[in-house]
Amino acid sequence: MLMLQILFWASVAAVVYHHALYPVALRLLARLRPGLPVPPVPDAGALPVVTLVIPAYQEAAFIALKLRDCARLAYPRDRLHVIVACDGCTDGTADLARAALASRDCAGLSAEVRAFPVNRGKVAVLNAVIASIPGGIVALSDASATLSADALMRAAAHFSRPEVGVVAGTYALKEAGSAGEASYWAYQTAIKADEAALSAPFGVHGAFYLFRHALWAPLPGDTINDDVVLPMAIVAGGARAVYDVTIIATEEERSRRSQEFRRRVRISSGNVQQAVRLWRLADPRRPGLAFVFLSGKALRALVPVLLVV
C-alpha cells in the first residue's frame, strides 16, 4: 500500500511539474541567458542558395496562393529555387501549381513541380526530394502557409553564424478555429521562445523552417512528427537552432475541430517515439538542452501513463 501511495504522489508531482512548474522555471532560466544578437544580413553575393520545398497532398485550394507568395519573397531570384512535391495528389494540385508558375505573378521565379504518382506519405517524399538537392539551405513550408516577405533574408542572417544549423519561424493563425486553438498556439510560441533562449526550441512549427543540407540525414520511414525529429536530430549532432519571432508563417486555412483533434493525436502518438530517438539530447555537457528535453519532451511522453496511475 505504501508503495502505491508513493507511486501515486510521485505521478501527481510529475504531472504538476510538467504542466505548471516547468513553464515557470523555463521562463526564469531563459531570462538569465542573454540572447544572441542577430547578425546583419549578408551582402547579396554572400547569401546562401535556398531550396524551398513545399510538400503537398490535395492542396488545390492553396497551391496557387502559396506560389504567388513565394514569388513575393524578398530574396535574390538566382539564389532561390522552389520545389512543389505533390504526393500522389488527385485533386489537380500539380496542374494548378504549373498554371500558377506560368502566370505573370510568378514570372522569374525558379520553380518546378515534382508529381509523385502514388501517395507515399510526407516523410518518404521529403527524403526523396531533399536527397536530390545539391546543397545549401533547405526550407520546408506548408502549402497553406504564407510567409513574411523578409523571412528568407532574416534566416540568411542567422545562417551567417556557422554554428547555426536550424532556423525556425513563429506561427500565426489567420483565423483561429476556436479561442482554445488561439490560446494553444500562443502558449506554444512562448514556450519555444523560452526554450530557444535557454538552448534550442524543442521542435519547430512545420509551417516554415530551414536547415543546412549538409547536416540533414534521411528520416526513418515511420517517423510520426517530422517537424520535431528532423530539426532536433540536427541539434543533437551539435548544431544550434534559432527561433526568430520576426519570421512569421501565417496559416491561411481555418482549421476544423476534427483537424485539430487529429493533429493533437498525431503529436501525442509521436511523443514516445521522439523521446526514444532523440535521447542524445539528454547530454549533461549541454545542460540547458538536457533540461528542455527531459522536462519538456521526455516527461510529456510519460504523462499519459502517469495519469492512468
Note whether 15 and 289 are within 8 A (CB): no
Position 177 pLDDT exceeds 70: no
**Is residue 141 assigned to a domain?**
yes
Percentage of residues in the chain with pLDDT exceeding 90? Answer: 63
**Is residue 9 assigned to a domain?**
no
CATH number at residue 81: 3.90.550.10
Higher pLDDT, 49 or 196: 49
**Of residues 155, 172, 174, 160, the one with CA closest to residue 52:** 155
**Is residue 139 assigned to a domain?**
yes
Q: For residue 32, what pLDDT is reported?
A: 84
Q: For residue 8, what pLDDT is reported?
A: 75
**Is residue 30 assigned to a domain?**
no
Higher pLDDT, 32 or 236: 236
The two beta strands, 164-173 and 208-212, are antiparallel
- For 37-46, the pLDDT digits (tens) are 778 888 888 8
**Is residue 17 assigned to a domain?**
no
Mean pLDDT, rounded, for 262-278: 74
**Is residue 13 assigned to a domain?**
no
Q: For residue 186, what pLDDT is reported?
A: 84
Q: For residue 306, what pLDDT is reported?
A: 54
Position 301 pLDDT exceeds 90: no
- For 221-231, the pLDDT digits (tens) are 999 999 999 99
Q: How many domains does the chain have?
A: 1
**Is residue 212 assigned to a domain?**
yes
pLDDT band at 307 (very low <50, low <70, confident <90, very high): low
User: What is the domain extent for residue 192?
Assistant: 39-308
Position 275 pLDDT exceeds 80: yes
The model carries a pTM of 0.90
Mean pLDDT, rounded, for 122-134: 97
**Is residue 19 assigned to a domain?**
no
Position 285 pLDDT exceeds 70: yes
- For 203-251, the pLDDT digits (tens) are 899 999 999 999 999 999 999 999 999 999 999 999 999 999 999 999 9
**Exposed e or buried b for every residue in 131-163, given b needs 16+ CB within 10 A?**
eebeebbbbbbbbbbbbbebbbbbbbbbbeeee
